[in-house]
Amino acid sequence: MAYQFEGYLRSDGTVGTRNYIGVVCSVICSSRVTKEIAENVNDAVPLVHSNGCAQLGDDFTVTRNMLVGMASNPNLYAALLVGLGCETNQISGLLRSIPKNKPLEGIGIQYLAGGKNTINKGMQIAEEWSKKVERKRRIFSITSLSVGVIALDLEDEKLNKVTSIIGKTVDILVKNDATVLMGLTETLAPAYLELSKRTDNDEVKNKFLSLKDRLDRKQWKEAYTSKNIRNSYSKKEKARASLELALTGNSKVRNFLYYSEKPAGNGLYFTKASNNLTETLSAMASSGCNIAIVISSRDILTGSLILPCLTVHSSSSTEYFEDLIDYRLTEEEAEVQAEKIIETLLQVGSGQQTSLEKYDLGEFSIPHVGTTF
């Protein structure tokens, strides 16, 4: 059976499942203007965040790379960058770094002498794009899908069932040459040893082995003592992680990516993730994902502004919001359910709205990895 979906081809060969104009602020100071431009133009989404100035080192690099990644995501057919002027994260630098795979422009409030001019100019640019856009979807093979997969708050009860269904789903995707980015969370990290065995590449192996003392998460309140307060994992955490690992199927792992790092070719990847779903989905989008699957036993209340997120609920309890569930796991065979999830995924990839999209619950946010100053 050929797995196909209908999407939008971009000039670099990537394929979008959505067709947005991204209006991206370089810094929080231009967020209001950015929102106003996006609110007034068809297809436009405001990618606003609270970073972009008074940042240094790795923290600044993460912010800049995230914005470069978002602007070049295939779900955007054009990107307009909106800056202030005096910020650390200069528009000129962003424009230099963003691959030219779509119409791209940058404007700044201080260069245009105020917010009103900037809004007018921004709307004019975006409206031009909106008139010219190709709105017809074309058929593509599943190999053009780059799927972010993140599991959060899974209940112990029925864990084996859930992980086998999702594991099968991931295996089918990888077997059919799709790209899968699995979010590596706190609960999965204790399985670092098992993960290291799923690659033949020594460098990647070492990346997993470095999780021995937990994921590298920085704290900076106290100077000197702030560096990486780490503990080893408890037996319980390790046992749980081994069970959760089944979520990731049996395929070979190609790499363990950092925020915004792009996969080199199709296959299965891991990517740094946190329990903050908005941050994690934003990072996946900036790594080039064009769709996502979120699995949880609790309510999934937030999605991404540019990635359609298929919500998979693993609990049979009815106390959760039914409206926000795209697929509820049942007692059916794992293989059957994996096929159903992929079928839904392809429909969503072809334009079917997800429940989070219907409720307009997309967000965007950039993680911090160091203090602002």
Partner 1 sequence: MILILIYLTHFFLVVKDLLRGEGGTMKTFNGYQRADGSVGVRNHVIVINAIGKLAGFTRKMAQLVPGVIPVVHQGGEAQFPQDLTQTVRTLQGIAGHPNVSAALILGMKEDNLTHVMEEQLNKERHHVKVLCLDEERTITEMFKKGKQWLKTAVENRRMEKRVSVDVSKLIVGLECGGSDAWSGITANPAIGCFSDYFVKDEGTSILAETTEAIGAEHIIAERAVHPKVSAKFIDMVKEYEERIKETGQDVRSANPSPGNIAGGLTTLEEKSLGCIKKGGNAPLNEVIDYAEPPTKKGFVFMNTPGYDVESVSGLAAGGAQIVLFSTGKGSPTGSPIVPVIKIGSNSELYETMAEHIDVNAGKIMEGSSTRIEMGEEIYNTVINTASGNKTTAEKNGNQEFAIWRLAETI
Q: Is 284 in the site for partner 1 (CB under 8 A)?
A: no
Q: Is 94 in the site for partner 1 (CB under 8 A)?
A: no
Per CB under 8 A, which region of 166-174, 245-253, 320-328, 346-354 contacts partner 1?
A: 320-328
Is residue 150 exposed (0-12), middle (13-18) or buried (19+ Cβ within 10 Å)?
Answer: buried
DSSP label at residue 203 = H
Amino acid identity for residue 329 in this structure: L
CA–CA dist 196, 211 (Å, integer): 10
Q: Is 323 in the site for partner 1 (CB under 8 A)?
A: yes
Q: Which residue has the tokens 């995924």?
A: 345
Taking the CA atoms of the chain, what radius of gyration do you get in angstroms?
21
Binding mask 188-217 for partner 1 (x = CB under 8 A): -----------------------------x
At 58 the three-state DSSP class reads helix
Residue from 156, 200, 203, 319 in contact with partner 1 (CB under 8 A)? 319
Please report the DSSP string for 156-191 in residue order: STTHHHHHHHHHHHHHHHHHTT-EEEEEE-TTTGGG
Return the number of the residue (115 or 267) whose C-beta is nearest partner 1. Answer: 115
Per CB under 8 A, which region of 5-13, 38-46, 249-257, 359-367 contacts partner 1?
A: 359-367
Residue from 6, 9, 40, 58 in contact with partner 1 (CB under 8 A)? 58
Q: Is 226 in the site for partner 1 (CB under 8 A)?
A: yes
At 286 the three-state DSSP class reads helix
Q: Is 146 in the site for partner 1 (CB under 8 A)?
A: no
- Asked if 154 contacts 295 with a C-beta cutoff of 8 angstroms, the reply is yes
CA-to-CA dists, residue 322 to 13, 143, 156, 157, 352, angstroms: 37, 31, 21, 20, 18
Q: Is 251 in the site for partner 1 (CB under 8 A)?
A: no
Q: Is 250 in the site for partner 1 (CB under 8 A)?
A: no
Q: Is 84 in the site for partner 1 (CB under 8 A)?
A: yes
Q: How many residues bind partner 1 (CB under 8 A)?
A: 67
Is residue 33 exposed (0-12), middle (13-18) or buried (19+ Cβ within 10 Å)?
Answer: buried
State the minimum distance, in angstroms, from the CB of residue 8 to partner 1. Answer: 25
Binding mask 18-47 for partner 1 (x = CB under 8 A): ----------xxxxxx--------------
Q: Is 85 in the site for partner 1 (CB under 8 A)?
A: yes
Residue from 242, 276, 344, 347 in contact with partner 1 (CB under 8 A)? 276
CA–CA dist 229, 93 (Å, integer): 34
Handedness of CA 220, 365, 350, 77 (dihedral sign): negative
State the minimum distance, in angstroms, from the CB of residue 373 to partner 1. Answer: 5
DSSP label at residue 152 = E
CA–CA dist 5, 145 (Å, integer): 9
Q: Is 90 in the site for partner 1 (CB under 8 A)?
A: yes
Residue from 53, 95, 133, 243 in contact with partner 1 (CB under 8 A)? 53
Handedness of CA 336, 337, 338, 343 (dihedral sign): positive
Q: Is 114 in the site for partner 1 (CB under 8 A)?
A: yes
Per CB under 8 A, which region of 10-18, 55-63, 155-163, 246-254 contacts partner 1?
A: 55-63
State the minimum distance, in angstroms, from the CB of residue 84 to partner 1. Answer: 7
Return the number of the residue (339 or 363) whose C-beta is nearest partner 1. Answer: 363
Binding region for partner 1 (CB under 8 A): 28-33, 50, 53-60, 84-88, 90, 109-110, 113-116, 186, 217-224, 226-227, 274-279, 298-299, 301-303, 319, 321-324, 359-363, 365, 367-373
